[in-house]
């Protein structure tokens, strides 16, 4: 009887050891599988977005000491395709050997390739990569790399703009302005400690080191960005778009020194978690895209080793509508690299109570959903994602009477076009991004679903809904090579 008893002990011991094994890294319960997250600890604003020799660089506000804000460094990752990310060592550390949680820590900023070595910092064959950042209460500073961003040095004569205790300057975005043949820095400032003057200041430079103040426009707060975009993709009709920290924007003209507004401030995202937008610099001309990413501010990830995630990268464009020119935002085309084999339905007429749940066979916590819906006599329709066996889940619903799209407590007006509403939905383990009518209206939110809820439900109430086309793709993880 000794042998059976011995094997019984081994059996239960193996079960206990197996149950005690930690979760697989980057595969935790609320770890987004196709949105960027740090391996561990706190993350917020995207910083230093720059493209060089086939690599998209993503830097971000990072606290290596824990899951709360503070002790800001710049984390660093690279990607060849905007979807699969490789984590690299921390790029920027606090200045002056600061051990304080705020003073001289590396706040937000931007990146640029010094194509013509105007800084004189290039020391080899590689072009110099530059990072412009705020060293909090220690001025605007510069760091550089001559090895494709693998190692970074601080500029010996920092700061390039001295700290001024009366203006709270931070978050410099630097770019080349072709029209005026100079570099431009847009930076948040609060001149003379006057809250009414909170806004964006414009500086110019020929050598990326010596900067001259030119102008200031009030009405903005933190993390500015300024990009030029064609209207309706016409190269002969372009406008400048000035972004605020919350992603809202103003369209206007810019001559290299002064921005002239042509619209009121327009909201760009109607979800619960969207902040600190930034666009990549030095995208090749043969690509031509303006690509933006943001921090999903306020997201919760209970029990996870990390705190914070980014939105999925999106391409920006300007489109002229009846009501005026608006920014349009859509997921980058590289998202298709993450598709598993999906399901497609076309020309399906749904009647309440008869054609129940067209997508009943779809299960998953990571899905890419694209649909075109003709609003025949339907009162409302939508999806319930992460549906459990008790029919609980997260609902997104479109009300045809009010033309309102609602999800996770947030709503936005979306007018159908010729009686048709288009929806594109990115469902990840802890986030939902909804793009309505080809990205005219966007809602980005984080959520915490039930553990064992994987169902998907397409519903309609009050009348008929005609599905012109519906595509649903399970998504691959960006962290693992899956077969």
At 376-435, the pLDDT tens digits run 999 999 999 999 988 889 999 999 999 999 999 999 999 999 999 999 999 999 999 999
In the chain, how many domains are there?
A: 2
Residues 82-91: tens digit of each pLDDT: 999 999 999 9
pTM value?
Answer: 0.93
Residues 457-471: tens digit of each pLDDT: 999 999 999 999 999
Question: CB within 8 A of 374, min separation 6: which ones?
Answer: 419, 420, 465, 466, 467, 468
Is 19 part of a structural domain of the chain?
A: no
CA distances from residue 237 to 230, 233, 242, 253, 289 in whole angstroms, order as listed: 6, 8, 17, 11, 16
- Residue 422 pLDDT: 98
Is cis: bond before 143, omega within 30 of 0? no
* Number of residues in the chain: 483
- Residue 153 pLDDT: 98
- The answer on 302 and 327 residing in a single domain is yes
- Residue 395 pLDDT: 96
Residue with tokens 């059976």: 4
Region 106-123: mean pLDDT is: 98
- The answer on 357 and 309 residing in a single domain is no
Q: State both tokens at 264.
A: 């009121």
Region 45-62: mean pLDDT is: 98
Is 295 part of a structural domain of the chain?
A: yes
Q: How many CB atoms lie within 10 A of CB 125?
A: 6
CA distance 279 to 175: 11
Residues 337-386: tens digit of each pLDDT: 999 999 999 999 999 976 678 998 899 999 999 999 999 999 999 999 99
Share of the chain above pLDDT 70, in %: 94
Residues 182-207: tens digit of each pLDDT: 999 999 999 999 999 999 999 999 99
Is 174 part of a structural domain of the chain?
A: yes
- The answer on 156 and 124 residing in a single domain is yes
Last residue of a domain, one of 309, 332, 355: 332
- Residue 300 pLDDT: 95
Q: Report the candidate in 24, 31, 21 with the shortest Cα–Cα distance to residue 449.
A: 31
Region 153-174: mean pLDDT is: 97
Please, are residues 368 and 472 in contact by the beta-carbon 8 Å criterion? yes
Is 22 part of a structural domain of the chain?
A: no
- The answer on 433 and 299 residing in a single domain is no
Is 424 part of a structural domain of the chain?
A: yes
Q: State both tokens at 339.
A: 């598709």
- Residue 8 pLDDT: 44
- The answer on 355 and 297 residing in a single domain is no
CA distances from residue 27 to 76, 106, 277 in whole angstroms, order as listed: 20, 29, 26
**Which CATH number is 465's domain given?**
2.60.120.560
- Residue 22 pLDDT: 52
Residue with tokens 């990326």: 208
How much is the mean pLDDT over the chain? Answer: 94
- Residue 361 pLDDT: 87
Is 30 part of a structural domain of the chain?
A: no
**Which CATH number is 260's domain given?**
2.115.10.20
The catalytically annotated residue of 27, 45, 100, 125 is 45
CA distance 345 to 148: 46
Whether residue 97 lies in the annotated active site: no
Is 195 part of a structural domain of the chain?
A: yes
Please, are residues 137 and 168 in contact by the beta-carbon 8 Å criterion? no
> Running DSSP on this structure, what letter comes out for residue 312?
P
Region 273-295: mean pLDDT is: 97
Q: State both tokens at 450.
A: 């039930």
Last residue of a domain, one of 279, 309, 332: 332
- The answer on 179 and 236 residing in a single domain is yes
- Residue 161 pLDDT: 98
- pLDDT band per the 50, 70, 90 thresholds, residue 21: very low
Please determine, for residue 230, whether its predicted confidence score (pLDDT) is greater than 90. yes
- Residue 481 pLDDT: 61
- pLDDT band per the 50, 70, 90 thresholds, residue 55: very high
- The answer on 347 and 298 residing in a single domain is no
- Tell me the residue range of the domain where 154 lies: 41-332
- Residue 14 pLDDT: 45
Please determine, for residue 17, whether its predicted confidence score (pLDDT) is greater than 90. no
- The answer on 269 and 161 residing in a single domain is yes
- The answer on 166 and 288 residing in a single domain is yes
Last residue of a domain, one of 332, 351, 368: 332
Please, are residues 255 and 179 in contact by the beta-carbon 8 Å criterion? yes
Q: How many CB atoms lie within 10 A of CB 118?
A: 15
Region 254-269: mean pLDDT is: 97
pLDDT greater at residue 16 or residue 310 = 310
- Residue 482 pLDDT: 46
- pLDDT band per the 50, 70, 90 thresholds, residue 16: very low
Residues 311-340: tens digit of each pLDDT: 999 999 999 999 999 999 999 999 999 999
Residue with tokens 């009121």: 264
- The answer on 346 and 308 residing in a single domain is no
CA distance 283 to 296: 24
- pLDDT band per the 50, 70, 90 thresholds, residue 24: confident
- The answer on 312 and 185 residing in a single domain is yes
- The answer on 371 and 346 residing in a single domain is yes
- pLDDT band per the 50, 70, 90 thresholds, residue 3: very low
Q: Report the candidate in 22, 2, 4, 23 with the shortest Cα–Cα distance to residue 12.
A: 4
Is 4 part of a structural domain of the chain?
A: no
Q: State both tokens at 314.
A: 């999106």
């Amino acid at each position: 009887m000794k042998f059976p008893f011995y094997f019984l002990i081994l059996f239960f011991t193996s079960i206990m050891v197996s149950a005690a094994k930690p979760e697989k890294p980057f595969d935790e319960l609320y770890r987004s599988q196709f949105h960027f997250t740090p391996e561990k600890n706190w993350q917020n604003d995207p910083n230093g977005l720059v493209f060089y020799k086939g690599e998209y660089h993503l830097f971000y506000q990072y606290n290596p000491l824990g899951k709360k804000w503070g002790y800001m460094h710049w984390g660093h990752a690279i990607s060849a395709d905007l979807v699969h990310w490789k984590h690299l060592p921390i790029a920027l550390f606090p200045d002056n050997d600061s051990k304080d949680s705020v003073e001289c820590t590396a706040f937000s900023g931007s990146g640029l390739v010094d194509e013509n070595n105007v800084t004189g910092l290039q020391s080899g064959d590689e072009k110099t990569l530059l990072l412009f950042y705020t060293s909090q209460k220690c001025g605007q500073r510069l760091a550089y790399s001559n090895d494709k961003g693998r190692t970074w040095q601080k500029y010996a004569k920092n700061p390039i703009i001295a700290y001024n205790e009366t203006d709270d300057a931070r978050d410099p975005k630097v770019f080349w302005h072709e029209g005026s043949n100079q570099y431009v820095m847009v930076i948040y400032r609060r001149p003379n400690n006057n809250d009414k003057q909170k806004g964006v200041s414009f500086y110019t430079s020929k050598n990326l080191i010596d900067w001259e103040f030119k102008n200031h426009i009030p009405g903005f707060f933190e993390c500015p960005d300024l990009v030029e975009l064609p209207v309706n993709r016409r190269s002969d009709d372009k406008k400048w778009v000035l972004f605020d920290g919350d992603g809202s924007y103003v369209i206007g003209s810019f001559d290299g020194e002064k921005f002239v507004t042509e619209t009121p401030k327009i909201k760009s995202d109607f979800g619960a978690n969207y902040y600190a937008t930034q666009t990549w610099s030095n995208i090749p001309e043969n690509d031509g895209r303006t690509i933006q990413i943001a921090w999903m501010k306020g997201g919760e990830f209970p029990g996870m080793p990390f705190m914070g995630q980014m939105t999925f990268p999106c391409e920006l464009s300007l489109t002229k509508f009846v009501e005026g020119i608006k920014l349009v935002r859509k997921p980058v085309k590289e998202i298709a690299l993450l598709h598993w084999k999906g399901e497609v339905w076309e020309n399906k007429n749904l009647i309440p109570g008869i054609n129940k749940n067209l997508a009943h066979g779809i299960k998953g916590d990571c899905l890419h959903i694209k649909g075109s819906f003709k609003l025949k006599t339907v009162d409302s329709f939508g999806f319930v994602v992460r549906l459990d066996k008790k029919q609980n889940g997260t609902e997104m619903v479109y009300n045809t009477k009010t033309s309102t799209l609602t999800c996770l407590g947030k709503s936005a007006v979306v007018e159908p076009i010729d009686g048709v509403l288009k929806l594109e939905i990115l469902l990840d383990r802890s986030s939902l991004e909804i793009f309505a009518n080809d990205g005219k209206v966007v809602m980005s939110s984080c959520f915490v679903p039930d553990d064992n809820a994987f169902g998907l439900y397409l519903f309609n109430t009050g009348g008929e809904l005609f599905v012109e086309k519906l595509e649903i793709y399970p998504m691959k993880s960006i962290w693992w090579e899956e077969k």
